[in-house]
Amino acid sequence: MKHRVVENMSSTTADALGLSRAILCNDSLVKKLEELERNEQMYRGLIDHTKKVLKAFFDVSQVHKAFGDTFASIGVREPQARASEAFTQFGEAHRQMEKLGIKMLKNVVPMLNDLGTYLHKAVPDTKLTIKKYADAKFEYLSYCLKVKEMDDEEYSYAALQEPLYRVETGNYEYRLILRCRQEARSKFAKLRSDVLIKMELLDQKHVQDIVYQLQRFVVALATYHNDCHEIMKKTRIFPIEVDLSRSTFVYESSPTFQDGADDVDDDDDDMLQAEEAKEQQQQHDLIGEF
């Protein structure tokens, strides 16, 4: 545990170890691990919130689709030509809004993948490098402390004018520790350089990427709302005149069946159901990416 205690050592002791206090004690690179974890939590929260927003937009697009189908159905059944055209146009506008919503979601979903790459690949890799660097630093510090202890031991025996067995037999252990310290120092310096480079690149990616992705998201939302506004702006159908006296509350007592027409209607219904099933499958695939 000695190499852990060195984190709170004095400046004199740090200077005696051969490196500056800025590197050995209260290392800024190790402290950046906390900042990296805060960024990780921010990205995770941003991704979760974006997924909820996109899911809400998908639900809104499905509401637009339901409105469009309903108004189109009303337009088909409306006997008055102007009212029928108005309902049909209004329903088609909502269908176009639903398509714009799906298009917007397809443009924004890659943003989540980019943020996920930063969160699940770049950040863990950098954290692993920092931890390796911290282990190498403590290993180097342990050798430094061992050398310091052996030097103090020699000074104490020399002060007492007593022979030290280690020194009398060639001091091989001391030279071995010095060699290990030198190798640990080289490893420590190399890992520190790697951490500095990775942290600089990660900071640049964080600053540039977060701004780019948020601008991309805002632009997609603004484009979607502007396009929807243009569609509704062109749809000037109100007020709608409906003559209720001609067809309201008038129902036939018995339905009329036409075999030939039923066959044609059944074929059309099958085609419509197949197309709707295909669209729903595509939308489910899109939601699956959330």
C-alpha distances in Å from residue 93, one per residue of 69, 71, 97, 231, 273: 10, 10, 6, 6, 21
Q: What percent of the chain has pLDDT over 90?
A: 3
CA distance 167 to 154: 8
Question: In sequence order, which residues have a C-beta less than 8 Å from that of residue 164 and are 6 or more positions away?
Answer: 153, 154, 157
**With a threshold of 0.75, does the pTM exceed it?**
no
- Please write the tens of the pLDDT for every residue from 166-215: 777 778 888 888 899 889 888 888 888 888 888 888 888 888 888 888 88
- Cα(55)–Cα(44) distance, integer angstroms: 17
How many CB atoms are closer than 10 A to CB 216?
Answer: 15
For residue 2, pLDDT beyond 50: no
Per-residue pLDDT band for 42 (boundaries 50, 70, 90) equals confident
Taking the C-alpha atoms of residue 290 and residue 59, their distance in angstroms, rounded to an integer, is: 13
State the burial class of residue 24 (Cβ atoms within 10 Å of its Cβ: 0-12, 13-18, 19+): buried
Q: What is the pLDDT of residues 204-262, one digit of tens each?
A: 888 888 888 888 888 998 999 999 888 888 877 666 666 655 555 555 655 554 554 45
Tell me the residue ranges of DSSP E strands in the chain: none
Backbone angles phi, psi at 187, to 5 degrees: -65, -40
Evaluate if residue 273 carries a pLDDT over 70.
Answer: no
